[in-house]
């Protein structure tokens, strides 16, 4: 519970299902005690249940299947410290269950397909993260998830992706231009792994001017477009870590990228060259990777940047709390 | 009570294939039906990652936290 005077910090986490949002949320929970964090799954604001969507031919990606008025109203209420009666979308039955009471905690996470779609909701968010999964890796991850685990055929995986694509491109993907930080998951150009799967190049794009955010960089902020090939004995010989400036949908931005795989044990050395990580102690980033090498993406830039984004969010949270404490004293 | 997600996924998938063969692959009904498959699969994979079955010692200690094998003093 938060008292009225306290500041509720709202963070939005967007991207398609199976893009790594839930792994990122697990990593955030490793950074904050669970009493501090409430996660709201935006599927709860579906206005049509599964049966109705199938009858009308409207996917969950379509804004018409979602109640943005209620989402905006309840996000505003939570941010001002008020409790809400939030509907529950039941993923098992596909129905909308009776609402539950949600009391705001100091951190509230809005996670789902449309966190930045509605301007009212977007403007309430203190930090916006989007997971941008490129098609070849989306296919690869879905094959790993749906074929290996559940006997789905390759054709089914492709058909599912193809049929959802028009709505994904129309309503979900364009939201990334509103994000503060975008984690791009791209196929690497390095040779494939022994099992025939592609390696990953992860890039963390951060637009300039995010409040309370000092962008991390490699070696020296003044030197842009620099790459480092560390050459660790247990990692890819071609492992490459880059920093540079770029333009992201007309906004000046900088990026960090990691191409290839590394042994988690090498993460302390990877992070040594990185500045502005917002760590509270030296080596914190690497220790968070090493704490959970079982999470997917712990051997490439996916996990590394998930942890880094988490650390950056923690420093935004602390800055906002310090400001509200200072304001309360006056 | 746990849901049989494999069965649920099979049902949704069969329905999607049927809907797509009636309405055509590019139809909105076909997209909505495959979206339902995706939703159930995502739910299943979230449950699976949450539910790692406890081993026999863990379930014994959940029932008998005072047993000699299970006591943990945090001092």
A316, A291, A262, A318: which is closest to A27 by C-alpha? A291
Determine the average pLDDT of the residues in B23-29. 90
d(CA A92, CA B40): 7
pLDDT at position B71:
92
A217, A186, A242: which is closest to A312 by C-alpha? A217
In a domain, B64, yes or no: yes
* 3-class secondary-structure state, position B43: helix
CATH topology of domain A1-130: Rossmann fold (3.40.50)
In a domain, B57, yes or no: yes
In a domain, B8, yes or no: yes
pLDDT category at B54 given cuts 50, 70, 90 is confident
Q: How many CB pairs under 8 A join A and B?
A: 81
Instruction: Tell me the shortest Cα–Cα distance from B67 to chain A, in angstroms.
Output: 28
Are B32 and A59 an interchain contact pair (Cβ–Cβ within 8 Å)? Answer: yes
What are the structural domain ranges in chain A? 1-130, 180-325
CB A305 within 8 A of CB A258: yes
Nearest beta carbon to residue B38 from set A17, A58, A166: A17
DSSP 8-state secondary structure symbol assigned to residue A46: B
Chain A CB contacts of B49 below 8 Å: 22
In a domain, B33, yes or no: yes
Are A59 and B40 an interchain contact pair (Cβ–Cβ within 8 Å)? Answer: no
Q: Which of B12, B24, B28, B32 to mutate to test the interface with A (most CBs of A within 10 A)?
A: B32
Quote the number of domains for chain B: 1
pLDDT category at B46 given cuts 50, 70, 90 is confident
Are A146 and B46 an interchain contact pair (Cβ–Cβ within 8 Å)? Answer: no
In a domain, B38, yes or no: yes
Nearest beta carbon to residue B35 from set A18, A61, A92: A61
In a domain, B31, yes or no: yes
With tokens 């309503």, the residue in question is A171
Are B41 and A167 an interchain contact pair (Cβ–Cβ within 8 Å)? Answer: no
**ipTM for the complex?**
0.85
Per-residue pLDDT of chain A (330 residues; tens, 9 = 90+): 555 447 899 999 999 987 778 889 999 999 998 899 999 999 999 999 999 999 999 999 999 999 999 999 999 999 999 999 999 999 989 999 999 999 999 999 999 999 999 999 999 999 999 999 999 999 988 888 777 666 677 888 888 899 999 999 999 999 999 999 999 999 998 888 888 888 999 999 999 999 999 999 998 888 888 999 998 888 888 999 999 999 999 999 999 999 999 998 888 988 998 999 999 998 999 999 999 888 888 899 999 999 999 999 999 999 999 998 888 877
In a domain, B75, yes or no: no
With tokens 């799967």, the residue in question is A197
Residue B3 has pLDDT above 80, yes or no: no
Domain that holds residue B52: 4-70
């Amino acid at each position: 519970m938060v008292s009225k005077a306290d500041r509720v910090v709202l963070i939005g986490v967007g991207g398609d299902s199976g893009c790594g949002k839930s792994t990122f949320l697990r990593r955030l929970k490793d950074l904050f005690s669970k009493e501090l964090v409430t996660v709201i799954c935006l599927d709860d604001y579906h206005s049509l249940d599964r049966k109705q969507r199938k009858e009308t031919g409207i996917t969950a990606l379509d804004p018409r299947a979602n109640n943005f008025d209620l989402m905006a109203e309840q996000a505003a209420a939570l941010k001002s410290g008020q409790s809400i009666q939030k509907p529950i979308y039941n993923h098992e039955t596909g129905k909308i269950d009776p609402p539950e009471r949600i009391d705001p905690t100091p951190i509230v996470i809005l996670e789902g397909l449309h966190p930045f779609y509605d301007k009212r909701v977007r403007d309430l968010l203190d930090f916006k993260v989007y997971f941008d999964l490129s098609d070849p890796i989306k296919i690869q991850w879905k094959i790993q998830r749906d074929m290996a685990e559940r006997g789905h055929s390759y054709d089914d995986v492709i058909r599912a992706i193809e049929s959802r694509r028009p709505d994904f491109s129309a309503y979900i993907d364009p939201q990334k231009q509103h994000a503060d930080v975008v984690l791009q998951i791209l196929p690497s150009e390095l040779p494939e792994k022994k099992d025939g799967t592609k390696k990953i190049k992860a890039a963390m794009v951060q637009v300039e001017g995010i409040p309370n955010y000092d962008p991390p960089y490699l070696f020296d902020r003044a030197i842009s477009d620099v790459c480092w090939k560390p050459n660790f004995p247990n990692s890819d010989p071609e492992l490459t870590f880059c920093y540079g400036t770029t333009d992201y949908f007309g906004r000046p931005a900088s990026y960090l990228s990691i191409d290839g795989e590394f042994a988690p044990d090498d993460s302390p050395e990877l992070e040594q060259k990185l500045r502005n990580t917002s760590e509270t102690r030296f080596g914190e980033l690497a220790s968070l990777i090493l704490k959970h090498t079982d999470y997917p993406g712990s051997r490439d830039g996916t996990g590394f940047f998930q942890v880094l984004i988490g650390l950056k969010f923690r420093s935004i949270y602390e800055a906002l709390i310090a400001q509200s404490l200072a304001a309360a004293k006056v | 009570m746990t849901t049989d997600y494999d069965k649920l996924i099979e049902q949704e998938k069969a329905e999607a294939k049927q809907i797509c063969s009636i309405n055509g692959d590019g139809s909105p009904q076909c997209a909505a039906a495959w979206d339902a498959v995706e939703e159930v699969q995502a739910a299943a994979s979230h449950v699976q990652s949450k539910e790692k079955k406890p081993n026999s010692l863990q379930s014994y200690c959940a029932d008998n936290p005072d047993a000699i094998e299970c006591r943990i003093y945090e001092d």
